């Protein structure tokens, strides 16, 4: 019994990715804060494939200690793929940003992601067929002046993950480490980043992908040996090797 772990699975890219893996018969451990959303997802998955085992874990990964608690609670399972999808956004100038929200975002986007990645790599990097996929952003490769702090947090995700991929490659590890970098995607993310009750993508965004489309790109990355799956300025999805220059190779 092997499992795929997906954080931030209650909505958006994480939700749709869980459905994609379930369609392939992959057992799932779905993680998010909202229990009722996870229970609804589990029910839908069992309608797609009743043979898939779905384990629910509620966790608020903006609290760093919960990253350790989550990982330790999964020691009984054999994990094949770990997807760090959970993330927070923040859309305001640095001078106007809510520092309490920024602190939560940095703990989730940076600290918990780094902790969970490290723990998974320590335990599974020698296991054939394992993958770690971290979700960054196109803004992890280009700075948006209206979202500087968010962009900087995703620069960490991109640099950390690309560097980790190279480190494991040099060590001859069997695990593959990859990064998905979406651009604007139709999820709950935008309204959360803007502290809005609703956000109309069609009215406000000239180009975007649906969460289902991004989950499809996730599976392309999963099936490929490339390290980076990124959406470019024309909203085309591209697979590539490391983008950042890596020293000491």
- pLDDT tens, 100-150? 999 999 999 999 999 999 999 999 999 999 999 999 999 999 998 888 999
CATH number, position 55: 3.40.50.720
Residue 213: CB partners within 8 Å, gap ≥ 6?
Answer: 185
Cα separation of 121 and 115, whole Å?
10
**pLDDT tier for residue 197 given thresholds of 50, 70 and 90:** low
- CB-count exposure of residue 188 (10 Å: 0-12, 13-18, 19+): middle
Domain assignment of residue 105, yes or no: yes
Domain assignment of residue 110, yes or no: yes
- Average pLDDT on 147-160 reads 96
Among the listed ranges 136-140, 189-193, 224-228, 241-245, which one has the minimum average pLDDT value?
A: 189-193
Query: 219 forms bridges with which residues in the sheet?
Result: none
Residue numbers of the domain that contains 48: 2-240
Domain assignment of residue 249, yes or no: no
Predicted confidence (pLDDT) per residue in 34-86, tens digit: 999 999 999 999 999 999 999 999 999 999 999 999 999 999 999 999 999 99
Contact 157, 140 (CB under 8 A): yes
Domain assignment of residue 162, yes or no: yes
Domain assignment of residue 247, yes or no: no
Cα separation of 3 and 52, whole Å?
10
* Cα 111 to Cα 13, 64, 77, 115, 156, distances in angstroms: 21, 7, 23, 6, 10
Residue 191 has pLDDT above 60, yes or no: no
Whole-number average pLDDT of the chain: 93
Number of domains the chain is built from: 1
Domain assignment of residue 245, yes or no: no
Secondary structure tally for the chain: helices H, strands E: 9, 10
Domain assignment of residue 91, yes or no: yes
Q: Which long-range contacts (CB under 8 A, 24 or more apart) does 227-233 make?
A: 227/162, 227/165, 227/177, 227/178, 227/179, 228/162, 228/178, 228/179, 228/181, 229/178, 229/179, 229/180, 229/181, 230/138, 230/141, 230/180, 230/181, 231/138, 231/181, 231/182, 231/183, 232/138, 232/183
pLDDT above 70 as % of the chain:
94
| Closest-CA residue to 182 (of 220, 223, 225) | 220
Domain assignment of residue 96, yes or no: yes
């Amino acid at each position: 019994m092997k499992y795929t772990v997906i954080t931030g699975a209650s909505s958006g890219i994480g939700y749709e990715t869980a459905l994609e893996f379930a369609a392939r018969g992959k057992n799932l451990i779905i993680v998010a804060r909202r229990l009722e959303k996870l229970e609804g997802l589990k029910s839908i998955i069992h309608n797609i494939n009743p043979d898939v085992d779905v384990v629910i874990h509620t966790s608020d990964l903006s609290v760093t200690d919960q990253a350790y608690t989550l990982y330790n609670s999964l020691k009984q399972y054999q994990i094949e793929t770990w997807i760090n999808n959970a993330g927070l956004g923040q859309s305001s100038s640095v001078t106007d940003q809510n520092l309490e929200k920024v602190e939560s975002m940095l703990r989730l986007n940076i600290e918990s992601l780094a902790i969970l990645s490290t723990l998974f790599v320590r335990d599974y990097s020698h296991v054939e067929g394992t993958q770690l996929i971290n979700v960054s952003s196109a803004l992890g490769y280009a700075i948006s002046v209206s979202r500087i702090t968010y962009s900087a947090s995703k620069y960490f995700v991109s640099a950390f993950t690309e560097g980790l991929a190279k480190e494991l490659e040099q060590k001859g590890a069997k695990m593959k480490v990859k990064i998905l970098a979406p651009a604007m995607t139709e999820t709950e993310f935008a309204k959360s980043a803007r502290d809005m009750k609703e956000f109309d993508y069609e009215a406000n965004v000239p180009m975007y992908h649906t969460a289902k489309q991004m989950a499809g790109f996730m599976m392309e990355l999963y099936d490929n040996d490339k390290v980076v799956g990124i959406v470019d300025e024309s909203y085309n999805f591209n697979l590539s090797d490391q983008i950042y220059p890596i020293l000491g190779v």
